[in-house]
A and B are shown apart, each in its own frame.
Chain A
Amino acid sequence: MNNVYVYLELEGQTVADVSLELLTKGRKLANQLGCQLEAVAVGSGLDGVEKQVMPYGVDTLHVFDAEGLFPYTSLPHTSVLVNLFKEEKPQICLMGATVIGRDLGPRVSSALFSGLTADCTSLEIGEYEDKKAGKVYENLLYQIRPAFGGNIVATIVNPDNRPQMATVREGVMKKEILDPNYKGEVIRHDVAKYVPETDYVVKVIDRHVEKAKHNLKGAPIVIAGGYGMGSKEGFDMLFDLAKELHAEVGASRAAVDAGFCDHDRQIGQTGVTVRPKLYIACGISGQIQHIAGMQEAGIIISINNDPNAPINTIADYVINGTVEEVVPKMIKYYKQNSK
């Protein structure tokens, strides 16, 4: 009762990275609150799934294993969580801000009348004073996220309703094994007790999942383009530089929205979070949502013809110039000077 829960996202029998990252965060929150960490796996053929998650410090793993639970559909997974949560009364529930988490989270929150905050960039524990009601709440989950086009950062709390729910994008939290031999309990539930037959109404007729075409998340060097690149063709020069430096190319949301670059290369709060040793921002002004996805880069170089671009304040090197002028020179002098 009153524990921290993480919903485990599964592709087949494999637990998604985002869920392992949330287990790492959930473990820390549970320690701070003096409670236990529990996880929920819902899918098909889940024998041994505990081996993937116990090392992250899971005290109890709830397994719901039945045909029809993979691929994911909305109603059966909702019923599992809603009915389990009615029994277990978690204080916190975390899930990935993935297509699945963003389909499932709102339904569960609506059914339980609990608040849900999407795409959090930070989670903390703290107190909250409701001055109107003259009440102080201890140990609430601070759900922190940029809001309103990224001009502000909001801290959201759910004072009265449980569980306090939040979704977090992949890569925002770091995954760290706590103890390879951590021993937790595994409970295998009778799925039929939680999911009525009538929930299996949506049929997945056809499904294609492709391996990612690039490794933006793990790349040591990232070259990112913004709206200032001007066009899809403008991005070609970033791919040229990336080829030389063995880097990956990313983009700001503005550049993706303008069609200059594929959506799966978007860096920021609603895209990928990266932690490269070198980040070269080309024609990116630096809205907070973008900064949220790259601020932990080791060295940041900003190339911008606007000396007042916000990103310049967090850059280690600011190059005042146009991308068209600077990037070809970088390629040229890299070729000349490397070996």
Chain B
Amino acid sequence: MSLKIVVLAKQVPDTRNVGKDAMTAEGTVNRAALPAIFNPEDLNALEQALRLKDAHPGSTITILTMGPGRAAEVIREGLFRGADNGYLLTDRAFAGADTLATSYALATAIKKIGEYDIIIGGRQAIDGDTAQVGPQVAEKLGLTQITYAEEILDVNLADKRITVKRHIDGGVETVEGPLPIVITVNGSAAPCRPRNAKLVMKYKRALGAQEKAAITKDGAALPYAELYDKNAYLNITEWSVADVDGDLKQCGLSGSPTKVKAIRNISFQAKESKTLSGSDADIEGLIVELLENHTIG
């Protein structure tokens, strides 16, 4: 018996490595300077999915992501590591989505995929840190959820039950729930296995329609064009709102109850500070001063 697994993955700007060039002269964020990466906790989720596939041969893993054309990269990365296929939800109408509109789009696509036992993603994405999309998708699909998962301990296919070890505040918990289910995985879970060389060879030319269009836009020919007709798996499927029978009103900005009222760049209230060197005299002077005013000691 096998499992149908959907992995929710997001392409995110690498906010962990914000260098000085990440801010423009006007003090706004220079998104172009940040590399786009596979959201780290989504990789932890992919690993849990791959382990289930190892344990239950015949299981399939589908990567689902939402984003611009270049987000097909996330699907390729998943294919390189053992996923079977993927869908890129991409439409201007999805732009400006908050977590609720995002979860609507993902839930609609999951319904379109149709068959699923486990929907698994990272606990949160590093560009927002909200941890909201997983539970919101679960609610929209009418499924229960297990968040902050550390490890999937067991799947009992006969009883359709799953056992998961998860984090709670100040401890750990082992819970058992029914399939189908939504699971979000913590960053402390097992890291994702590396790319598989054979799969990289197989899928390295896989492209989404927008990526192909970007290559050919100035009249250039698509390299290895014949491969895409011969091997359907090299064509990464793109889905629009219409493709998943989505309701435009619930997508993107119009489907987002939260609005951004104001964005403020950070400027610290500068204090008058005393600058010291690392010399013995300066450090001793500071320690004596802190002792005398009873800050320490």
Whether the pair A74, B144 counts as a contact (CB closer than 8 A) is: yes
Whether the pair A333, B100 counts as a contact (CB closer than 8 A) is: no
Report if A211 contacts B (CB, 8 A): yes
Report if B258 contacts A (CB, 8 A): yes
In angstroms, Cα B173 to Cα A210, docked, is 12
Contact of A329 among B129, B145, B169, B280 (CB under 8 A): B280
In angstroms, Cα B191 to Cα A145, docked, is 29
Beta-carbon nearest neighbor of B98 in chain A: A115
Whether the pair B276, A209 counts as a contact (CB closer than 8 A) is: no
Report if A315 contacts B (CB, 8 A): yes
Report if A6 contacts B (CB, 8 A): no
In angstroms, Cα B168 to Cα A98, docked, is 9
Whether the pair A151, B278 counts as a contact (CB closer than 8 A) is: no
Q: Is chain A's interface secondary structure helix, strand, loop, or mixed overall?
A: mixed
Whether the pair A155, B136 counts as a contact (CB closer than 8 A) is: no
Query: Known contacts being A115-B100, A148-B15, A201-B177, is A99 close to B163, with CB within 8 Å?
Result: no
Beta-carbon nearest neighbor of A244 in chain B: B296
Q: List B contacts of A149 (CB < 8 A).
A: 13, 15-16, 18, 22, 29, 126-127
Q: List B contacts of A143 (CB < 8 A).
A: 258
Query: Known contacts being A75-B144, A148-B15, A209-B170, is A107 close to B136, with CB within 8 Å?
Result: yes
In angstroms, Cα B130 to Cα A269, docked, is 12
Find residues 184-219 in chain A having any chain B CB closer than 8 Å to their own CB.
201-212
Report if B140 contacts A (CB, 8 A): yes
Beta-carbon nearest neighbor of A314 in chain B: B268
Whether the pair B286, A317 counts as a contact (CB closer than 8 A) is: yes
Q: Is chain B's interface secondary structure helix, strand, loop, or mixed overall?
A: mixed
Query: Known contacts being A78-B139, A158-B257, A314-B270, is A103 close to B170, with CB within 8 Å?
Result: no
Whether the pair B175, A329 counts as a contact (CB closer than 8 A) is: no
Q: List A contacts of B259 (CB < 8 A).
A: 128, 130, 156-159
Chain A interface residue bracket vs B? 35 or more
Contact with B along A128-158 (1 / 0, CB 8 A): 1010000000000011001111111111111
Q: List A contacts of B274 (CB < 8 A).
A: 316-318
Count B-side interface residues using an 8 Å CB cutoff. Answer: 77
Beta-carbon nearest neighbor of B270 in chain A: A313
Beta-carbon nearest neighbor of B168 in chain A: A99
Contact of B258 among A73, A78, A99, A115 (CB under 8 A): A115
Kindly provide the distance from the CB of A120 to the nearest chain B CB, expressed in whole angstroms.
11
Find residues 243-292 in chain B having any chain A CB closer than 8 Å to their own CB.
256-266, 268-271, 273-278, 280, 282-284, 286-288, 290-291
Report if A245 contacts B (CB, 8 A): yes
In angstroms, Cα B284 to Cα A58, docked, is 51
Whether the pair A157, B261 counts as a contact (CB closer than 8 A) is: yes
Report if B103 contacts A (CB, 8 A): yes
Report if B2 contacts A (CB, 8 A): no
Q: What are the 9 tightest A-B residue pairs by CB atom distance, in nearest-first order? A: A321-B278, A149-B15, A115-B257, A115-B258, A209-B171, A106-B135, A110-B139, A106-B132, A110-B136
Using a CB–CB cutoff of 8 Å, the interface residues on chain B facing chain A are 13, 15-16, 18, 22-23, 29, 98-100, 103, 126-136, 138-140, 144-148, 163, 167-178, 188, 256-266, 268-271, 273-278, 280, 282-284, 286-288, 290-291, 295-297
* 10 other A-B residue contacts (CB within 8 Å) besides A100-B169, A107-B135, A151-B29: A113-B100, A148-B15, A151-B22, A158-B259, A202-B146, A270-B129, A310-B268, A316-B274, A319-B278, A334-B291
Question: Can you sample 22 A-B contacts with CB below 8 Å?
Answer: A99-B168, A105-B135, A106-B103, A114-B257, A117-B130, A118-B129, A149-B126, A156-B258, A156-B259, A157-B258, A201-B178, A202-B177, A207-B171, A257-B16, A312-B273, A315-B271, A320-B277, A321-B277, A330-B287, A334-B297, A337-B284, A338-B296
